Every structure is written in structure tokens, then in C-alpha cells.
Structure 1
Amino acid sequence: MMPKTLFAFATLPLLGAVAQNSTETFQENVGGYEFIKTGPKKLAPKADYEWAAAQTALKLLKDGLKAQGKDAILKVLSPAIAEADTFWKDIVATSTGKLEQKEGWVSADGEGIAFLPNVTAERFVKWYLSPLADVANNAANPEHYYKATTTSGTAAVSEIIEGWGGITTHFQVPNFALPPNRERYPFLHEHADFPLQAAGDKVLMDGTVFGVLHISARNVKGADYGQPIDGVHVAASVWYGDAAKDDHLEDERTHMTTEIINLTLQAQKDIEGGKLPV
């Protein structure tokens, strides 16, 4: 038999814990089935809890890999990268689209308008072409793993390891330049009211051009959107040969809108904190 004093001592932590728990309930449908949960003081859908935990796990894993260098990242992701090489080469081989040709291309487009006190289109482009953008890259989207960029004026050369819907690709953008080379890319959106535009090839590490990146930025009046401050409008497009399927393009659309929000937020922090001279 447990001594009375020990029994009393053993029950105290349990009673204390119960007193701190919420007695409210939360009902949600998960996978087509109903669940009722209680306990947390802040009751929310399961996905909210998982997202917070996933952000912590991803940061720890990505920071750990980054600290070991690009070779460690490639070692972990090499099977997925090999699959991606096959995926993209098949699209290139079965598409009718060719560089310097208007027809035969399809795009995934994502846009966002950000109302941030320190970010203009000009400042965002300056930030995007600075080393600060590479530092922020891994946090811009969960499927970002590595980015290294060198710049010369308004042109940039980047090496990137990035995924879209699980298509984890190791590639380069060797000629990302402002303004776009429209003779090389006649299929690009005009975006006539965007004064700042840049575009460049997306190239597998063996030299295969598998797509084109096009990013545009402009300033907008906050009053036009019911906002108290002016904003920056960022439009991003990725172009592939017409064999690319829309389900993949949809992955890229969601990816780009997430990027736009996270990158403009980080630009605001870096400008506000004095990391980017303006």
C-alpha cells in the first residue's frame, strides 16, 4: 500500500495540471471524420498546431543542413533532384515551345500587393538583388533549401535548390536581368504598367533550359485599395513548355504567392532595421 503522505504528494501535480487545462471543446472534421478535442487553452484546428510545429522542425533541419554546406543538402536531396531532372527533361522533350518563339509556352502566375511602410517597388528590387534576399530565401517557402546569388548592376546569377509540389530541383538562373530580353522571351506577359521587370532562364545543372522566370514590380496607391498607405505590387511568372500540366502549375502559383508575402515582409524588416540602406 502506498503511504498516505506519498499518495498525497503524488496527486498534487495532477490536480495542478488539470486546473490549468481548458475545459472548452473544439469540433472539427479531419479526413472526412469528426473529432472533438479539449485541453489546450487556445483551441484551433489541428492544422494550426501542426503548422507551428512544422515551422520549428523545418527551421531546425534547414539551418542544420545549411551549416554543413551545399554538399550536405545535395546528399540528402539527391534522389529527389534526380527525379526532378527526369521530370523536366521529359517536359522539354515533349513540348513545342522553344526560346525566341512565342507559341508553345504556358505560365504559372502569382501576384501580391503588400502595404508595408518602408517597401516600395524600387526598394524591393534593390533588396531582391542584394545578399539579404539569399539569407531570407529558406524562410520564403517550405520547399526552399539553398540559394546563392552574385550580382552585377541589374543582372544576377543564382544557384538554387528549390521544390514545387515535391519537384525538388537543382538549377541555375544564369542571366536574370532587368529589363527582360523580349527577343529571347517573346511569350512573356507585357505588364506595360510595371516599370521594373526582370527575366532569366531556369537551367538544370547539365545545361538544359527547362523554364523562364519573370518578376515585375510597381508602386500602387493605397487609396485605390482602401488602405492608409501606398503599396508595392509584385507579379511573378514561371514559364514552361506546353507539356507542363496544370496541376504542377497550380503548385507553383501557390508557391509564388507565399514567396511574395514572406519576401516583402522580410524586406520590410531589413529596411526598418537598417540592413538595407535606402
Structure 2
Amino acid sequence: MYAITLFLAGFLAFAATAAANFTEYVDNYTFTHWGPTYEASKFDYELTMAQSAVTLLKTRLGADGYNLTVPQTKDDLPAALAELHTTKANLGPNGLIKLLQPDIADGNKFWHDVISNSDGVNWKPTEAQCICYIPSLSAFSFGSWATSPDADAVNDDANPEHYLKQTSTAPNGLPQSTVLEGWGGVRTYFDIQNFTTPDRVKYPFLRQLPDFPIQAAGPKVLKDGTGTTYGILHIAVKDVDDAKYGKGFEVYSAVWYESAISRDRIEAESEHMVNEIVNLSLFASKSVKSGARPRSF
């Protein structure tokens, strides 16, 4: 009875969240997204994240970060994102990992504190969904591109708070990724392991989503030597054909955390996901059309 009640409560909360949405036009494509409590354009989310990322890098670089300018408005975004791109590229993956060691340590502590203060039973989701009306892409072609080296190559431009993503094949043959990114001030260095068909016996809280034919899930494991799973990632994709906007695909993105996760962290990551999905879908469209690795500027 408890399990049924928990499922219904989670389903109703999800349904209520999904009822509201925001539609916008980016690069001549239509996007409808929902999940964050704060409904806004992906550019509004991106501005906040760019402010966080630029401020962080300026602080860590000291005098070497003088050329970075914290954007104040959405009009400042193109220049700020270009500066971020150049700075991240110059530092490279190893340089970014070294530079952000204090922040990685803070992130590890944050997640261990969440786990130690949780009940171990009631997991909470941070969720976002986005319908991308891009007729040149299907759910399959987007999903294939998103797990390819081409997606890794543009990862740092997909969200201002992205710093590293390296995808490979694990010894068991399943995809795995090493990631360094931030959400609302929490920067985390982790692996995504065993990313495959959702294991709902091991993770019974994952949404069923029967209308999404393409789904994968896997644990997010801290790279602090403890082997700690601090979240469970769940991605699902399906094709859509809307009478008004035409063909496209819908992406469901979620990470489930233990019960002590705060509402503000859930919100920050939900906004992050929307921004990431929109940008990655635009990159995917350019990549599929040109065969090249695109940039956003």
C-alpha cells in the first residue's frame, strides 16, 4: 500500500508540474519545455548560468581571468559565451579539473551531506521535458548523436556550467561518461555508469514512461575514490508530430536524488536541463546537416 501511495503521489506531482509549459523560438525552430518552477526562455536560464560560470572562472584564474566579463543582460550573452568557449578550450580538460579542485571538493562534500541527511527510501526527481520541433531530426537520430563523440566535442558550449564530458565504452560494453559540470553553484566531478535500459527493480522510483520507446538510465558516481552513487540519471526520447508545429522529438530528462536534496537545487538543475536540451538539439541539427562539429557562435 505504501509503494502504491508513493507512486501515485509522485505521478500526480509530475502531472501537475508538466501542466505548465513555455514555448519559444530559437534559430527558427520552435521549442516547448516544462519542468522548472520558473518558466522562462532558455536564454534567461543561460544568463544565470553564464554569470555563475564566468564568476567562478574569474575567481579561480585571478589575474589570468581579466578578459572574462560577467554578462549582465541577455544581450551580453554572445560575447560572454565566446569568452567562456575560448577560456575552457585554452585550459583543456586537465586544466579545468586542476583549476576547479576546490569546487570539486565542495561538491563532493555537498553530495555526501545530502546522502547522510536522507532517509535512504524517498528519492526526489529533478526533471525537465522539451519538445524540439526540428524536422531534420528524429528521436533515434538525436539519441544516437547525443551519445557520440560529436556531442562530447560541443559539450562545453551546450551549457555555460559544463566543463568536461568524455564518453567511452566500458569493459562490459555499455556506454559510460566522465563529466564535470555545475548546477546552481554545486560543481561535481562524476562518472555516469552502466547507462542502459532502466533497471526499475533496482531503481523502482524511475518513471515508467510507456510512450517513450527510447530510454536509458544509470548511476552518477562521484570521482572522489569512494564509489558513492549520488544520483540516478534517466533519459527518454520519442518522436512527435504536432498539428501546429509539425514533426520533432521530445526529450525527458531526470536525475533522482535522495530525500534531503533541497528545492533550490532541484530547480537549478531543471533549468540547466532545459538549456542543455535546446542547445544540444541545435548542435545536433547542424551536425547532421553538415557532418561537421558545430559551434554556437
TM-score (norm 1): 0.76
Q: Aligned AA for 2:94?
A: D
The alignment status of 1:244 with 2:264, answered yes or no, reads: no
In 2, the alpha carbon distance for the partners of 1:151 and 1:128 equals 14
Mapping 1:169-208, distance limit 5 Å: 169-177=188-196, 179-205=197-223, 206=225, 207-208=227-228
What displacement does 1:154 show?
8.4
In 2, the alpha carbon distance for the partners of 1:52 and 1:132 equals 22
In 2, the alpha carbon distance for the partners of 1:158 and 1:261 equals 21
Q: Which residue of 2 aligns with 1:5?
A: none
In 1, the alpha carbon distance for the partners of 2:80 and 2:292 equals 28
In 1, the alpha carbon distance for the partners of 2:288 and 2:169 equals 19
Against the structure 1 CA distance between its residues 123 and 154, is the aligned structure 2 distance closer, same or farther, given a 3 Å change threshold?
farther
Q: Which residue of 2 aligns with 1:90?
A: 113
Post-superposition Cα deviations, 1:173-197, rounded to whole Å, max 9, x if no partner, equal 12111x2111111100111110110
What displacement does 1:245 show?
0.3
Q: Aligned AA for 1:168?
A: R
Q: Indicate the percent of aligned positions where both proteins have the same amino acid.
A: 40
Q: Which residue of 1 aligns with 2:281?
A: 264
In 2, the alpha carbon distance for the partners of 1:120 and 1:57 equals 32
Q: Secondary structure at the match of 1:186?
A: coil
Give the alignment partner of residue 167 of structure 1, picking from 179, 183, 186: 186
What displacement does 1:275 show?
5.0
Against the structure 1 CA distance between its residues 154 and 128, is the aligned structure 2 distance closer, same or farther, given a 3 Å change threshold?
farther
Q: Indicate if the aligned counterparts of 1:159 and 1:173 stay in contact, CA closer than 8 A.
A: yes
Post-superposition Cα deviations, 1:100-134, rounded to whole Å, max 9, x if no partner, equal xxx41000101100111211001111111211111
Against the structure 1 CA distance between its residues 50 and 159, is the aligned structure 2 distance closer, same or farther, given a 3 Å change threshold?
same
Q: Which residue of 2 aligns with 1:105?
A: 123
In 2, the alpha carbon distance for the partners of 1:63 and 1:275 equals 18
What displacement does 1:72 show?
1.2
* Structure 2 unpaired stretches of 5+: 1-70
Structure of higher CA gyration radius:
1
Q: Indicate if the aligned counterparts of 1:129 and 1:151 stay in contact, CA closer than 8 A.
A: no
In 1, the alpha carbon distance for the partners of 2:74 and 2:136 equals 30
Q: Which residue of 1 aligns with 2:136?
A: 118
The alignment status of 1:80 with 2:103, answered yes or no, reads: yes
TM-score (norm 2): 0.71
What displacement does 1:73 show?
1.1
In 1, the alpha carbon distance for the partners of 2:126 and 2:221 equals 17
In 2, the alpha carbon distance for the partners of 1:89 and 1:250 equals 20
Q: Indicate if the aligned counterparts of 1:106 and 1:241 stay in contact, CA closer than 8 A.
A: yes
In 2, the alpha carbon distance for the partners of 1:165 and 1:129 equals 25
Count residues in correspondence: 220
Against the structure 1 CA distance between its residues 274 and 74, is the aligned structure 2 distance closer, same or farther, given a 3 Å change threshold?
closer
Q: Which residue of 1 aligns with 2:231?
A: 211
Q: Secondary structure at the match of 2:194?
A: strand
Aligned-CA RMSD value: 1.8
Q: Aligned AA for 1:115?
A: Y
Q: Secondary structure at the match of 2:250?
A: strand
Q: Secondary structure at the match of 2:195?
A: strand
What displacement does 1:95 show?
1.1
Q: Indicate if the aligned counterparts of 1:117 and 1:268 stay in contact, CA closer than 8 A.
A: no
Q: Secondary structure at the match of 2:216?
A: strand
Q: Aligned AA for 1:242?
A: S
